[in-house]
Amino acid sequence: MAAGHAALVRVVRDEGRRVLATLIRTVGDWQVAEDAVADAVERALATWPRTGVPEQPRAWLIVTAKRCAVDLLRREHRRAEKEASAMELLPPPGDRDVDTIDDDLLRLVFTCCHPAIEPAAQVALALRTLCGLGTEEVARALLVGEATMSKRITRAKQKIARAAIPYRVPDAHELPDRLLGVAATVYFLFNEGYSATSGDAPLRGELAEEAVRLARLVHDLLPDEPTAMGLLALLLLQHSRRDARVDAGGRPVLLADQDRTRWDRAQIVEAVALVGRGLRRCPDRPDPYLTQAAIAACHALAPNAGATDWDAIVSWYDVLLTVRDGPVERLNRAVAIGERDGPGAGLEAVDAVEGLDHYAPWLASRAVLLARLGRADDADDAFDRAISAEANAARREDLRRRRRRARDVGDVAPT
């Protein structure tokens, strides 16, 4: 029963962001749309266990949410001029309003990333809306306090309403000004699918697929932009490993232990070609996404873990730090240092990274390096802290397993 309910919740959650994208377009009011979708989700969770999941769950949620929106507009007497047109939100019988949903998601990304919204709030609002993450989860993903994040999201919604920011894909001449925000949004959307911040499963494959699709659309809109090339390449390279990243029991599989015959070679070939074209377009100042894609390509092209070119990976991280010098980037470089130069050098590099004292991957990296150095008690303590900081149940259990075998085997490679 619990497993069935969890599966039902996943269906509603995954469909909910698409439904919200459509409601924001049709209602024209972000808060009304969010409230209506919340009501529709509540009804689904109360109804579907008795009646079964509809053949078209998204269509069911859209119709129900639109009806809820009509009720909200009437009940609250908001925007009286919309009262007469509210009934138009209800689709005619048989109209599932599904065909426009994909475009609605892209419109929503561009709306969140309008230049009038402060950059720090753009990605936060998109993660809150597109990923369905709670404010606490968004704050954790962006390494910001929850109260600060809540204010950012609220201000962004208010800005969209006050400035009447249009809900559309901008014209061609406007696209470059939106690209960095859109790329960051799609990147973080993918990250939530690639490594879920909370919940029971280590990844959300459907969300990662959505991010790859959006990255393709962005590349189609701006085919000659290095950022668009790098974003798509990076996502393809990371997503190419999806089938090998969890075992039959749904547990995370370390990169070094993955069955590389299960990697998607077609995606890797496409991505490597994009990296080559993109790097030729920005020889003086490499794009951050292209640089990360080059790092991912080093892993993808190695026939086995032992053949990984860690010299090249560290060098690419050195390049990345010249264009994006953040604590997470420094942590990833430190992990690579540990692979190339040994656990002592790796631990020194990890400990030099500031600002990640409560970040689970930083704590886990320290734990594994300490175990490799034979510092068992320190490693146990570091594993305890990493487990406490990790919000995802599958990764918490994985850390427990790694702690149990840490005295005999070390494994610092990323998943």
What's the pTM? 0.80
Kindly indicate the confidence band of residue 95, based on its pLDDT and cuts at 50, 70 and 90.
Answer: very low
Q: Which of 242, 275, 128 is nearest to 189 (CA)?
A: 128
> What one-character DSSP code corresponds to residue 252?
B
Q: Which of 322, 331, 325, 275 is nearest to 298 (CA)?
A: 275
Angle at 415 between CA 298 and CA 313, to 5 degrees: 25
pLDDT given at position 56: 86
Q: In angstroms, how far is CA 262 from the centroid of its own chain? A: 23
- Tally the residues of the chain: 415
pLDDT of 282-325, one tens digit each? 878 889 999 999 999 999 999 999 999 999 999 999 999 999 99
pLDDT given at position 409: 52
CA distance 156 to 119: 10
End-to-end CA distance of the chain: give it in Å, rounded: 31
> Bridge-partner residues for 363, per DSSP?
none
Q: Buried b / exposed e across 346-360, counting CB within 10 Å, b at 16+?
A: bbebbeebeebeebb
CB proximity list for 77: less than 8 A, separation 6 or greater: none
Select, from the ranges 75-84, 90-99, 136-145, 237-246, the one with the highest average predicted confidence (pLDDT): 237-246
pLDDT given at position 347: 98
pLDDT of 98-147, one tens digit each? 444 456 778 888 888 888 888 878 888 877 877 667 788 788 777 788 88
User: What integer is the mean pLDDT of 367-388?
Assistant: 94
pLDDT given at position 69: 86
CA distance 240 to 14: 21
pLDDT given at position 171: 81
Percent of the chain with pLDDT over 70: 88
Q: In angstroms, how far is CA 228 from the centroid of its own chain? A: 17
Q: In angstroms, how far is CA 181 from the centroid of its own chain? A: 14
Checking 296-300 for CB contacts under 8 A at 24+ apart, the result is 296/233, 296/234, 296/237, 296/238, 296/271, 297/233, 297/237, 297/268, 297/271, 297/272, 299/237, 299/255, 300/237, 300/240, 300/241, 300/263, 300/268, 300/271, 300/272
pLDDT of 136-162, one tens digit each? 878 877 778 888 888 888 888 888 878
Kindly indicate the confidence band of residue 77, based on its pLDDT and cuts at 50, 70 and 90.
Answer: low
Amino acid sitting at position 85: S
pLDDT of 153-208, one tens digit each? 888 888 887 887 877 777 878 888 889 989 998 998 899 889 888 778 888 888 89
| 3-class secondary structure, 408 | coil
Kindly indicate the confidence band of residue 90, based on its pLDDT and cuts at 50, 70 and 90.
Answer: very low
> What one-character DSSP code corresponds to residue 406?
T
Asked whether the beta carbons of 366 and 357 are under 8 A apart, the reply is no
